């Protein structure tokens, strides 16, 4: 694995925490976008692995991880998508391999919609374009005024660890859940409420978006935990509505965080996928779409 450089990037009115590996001046890069709860740390091992082939970058979204949102920041998909664009611009990245998880999906997909010619590939982990999808139970709670605030204020470490790990067939590493909770401070809890309340049902307009993307057939890798408690794994293969040649892997023993409960498998899948994009073997790789 490549060594990771940990630094701060002044962008968008704040100093976001950034983890990087690979050639720092390359104009083509893998850009990892975390979800909720999450931070740049989620991707540490994958950044190091991807950095052996390409420039690789992960960063904190404002009010997640250790990064404070600037005054007036809009905790919306549009606000976060714009911030993602500013990070990409500030780092001088022209061609992007997006890797998205959880709420990083809507954010990254929103940026992609306006920059299709700059997307070299996309990897979707337990998220995607999901016609008909309705908010999961926890999201509905966060979207409810007063009740959401009470829930966030009473989230102790033990309750948080139980909630995150519920329904996970293999459980989750304690260091992973503890690190998430360490970052789940008052700022982040407020940001989560604002973001969910500002975002309509994810299924709205999804079919139309998929139809617009399909003719481009953007190289795509889909990784999904079969036991995801938030987003049904049945949506994994449906990503081919938007990405017809997508390589699809449903991990039978994983939940919502396969990069945490099956890190070696996710690393292998991602590295192989990116290698195919670099070696000119994309056509062959796309024919090997399979369920694992």
Q: Mind listing the pLDDT tens digit for each residue in 65-115?
A: 999 999 999 999 999 999 999 999 999 999 999 999 999 999 999 999 999
Q: Which residue segments constitute the domains of the chain, with CATH numbers given?
A: 5-134+201-286 (3.40.50.1820)
Of 158-167, 180-189, 196-205, 260-269, give the lowest mean pLDDT range: 158-167
**Average pLDDT score over residue span 255-276:** 97
Q: What is the DSSP letter of 214?
A: G
pLDDT at 46 over 60: yes
DSSP run (H or E) holding 284: helix 282-286
Share of the chain above pLDDT 70, in %: 95
Torsion of CA 22, 3, 88, 197, to 10 degrees: 140
pLDDT in tens, 141-186: 999 999 999 999 998 999 998 888 888 998 999 999 999 999 999 9
Mean predicted lDDT score pLDDT of the chain: 93
**Average pLDDT score over residue span 187-199:** 97
Q: Where are the alpha helices (DSSP H) in 56-199?
A: 77-90, 104-113, 137-142, 147-153, 157-165, 174-183, 186-198
DSSP run (H or E) holding 7: strand 5-11
pLDDT of residue 292: 46
pLDDT of residue 165: 85
- Of the pLDDT bands very low, low, confident and very high (cuts 50, 70, 90), residue 1 is confident
């Amino acid at each position: 694995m490549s060594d990771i450089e940990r630094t701060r990037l002044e962008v968008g009115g704040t100093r976001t925490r950034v983890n990087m590996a690979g050639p720092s001046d390359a104009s083509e890069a893998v850009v990892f976008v975390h979800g909720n709860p999450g931070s740049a740390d989620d991707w540490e091992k994958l950044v190091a692995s991807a950095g052996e082939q390409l420039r690789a970058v992960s960063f904190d979204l404002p009010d997640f991880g250790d990064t404070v949102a600037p005054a007036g920041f809009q905790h919306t998909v549009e606000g976060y998508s714009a911030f993602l664009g500013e990070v990409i611009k500030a780092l001088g990245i022209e061609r992007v391999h997006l890797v998205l998880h959880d709420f990083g999906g809507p954010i990254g997909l929103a940026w992609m919609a306006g920059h299709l010619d700059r997307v070299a590939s996309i990897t979707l982990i337990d998220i995607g374009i999901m016609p008909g999808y309705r908010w999961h139970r926890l999201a509905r709670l966060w979207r409810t005024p007063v009740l959401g605030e009470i829930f966030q204020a009473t989230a102790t470490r033990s309750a948080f660890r139980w909630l995150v790990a519920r329904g996970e067939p293999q459980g989750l590493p304690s260091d992973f859940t503890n690190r998430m909770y360490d970052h789940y401070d008052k700022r982040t809890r407020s940001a989560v409420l604002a973001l969910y309340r500002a975002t309509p049902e994810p299924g709205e307009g999804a079919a139309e978006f998929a139809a617009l993307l399909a003719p481009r057939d953007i190289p795509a890798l889909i990784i999904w935990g079969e036991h995801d408690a938030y987003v049904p794994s049945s949506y994994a293969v449906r990503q081919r509505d938007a990405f017809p040649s997508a390589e699809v892997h449903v991990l039978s023993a994983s939940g919502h965080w396969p990069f945490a409960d099956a890190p070696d498998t996710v690393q292998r899948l991602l590295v192989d996928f990116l290698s195919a994009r670099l070696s000119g073997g994309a056509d062959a790789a796309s024919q090997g779409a399979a369920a694992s």
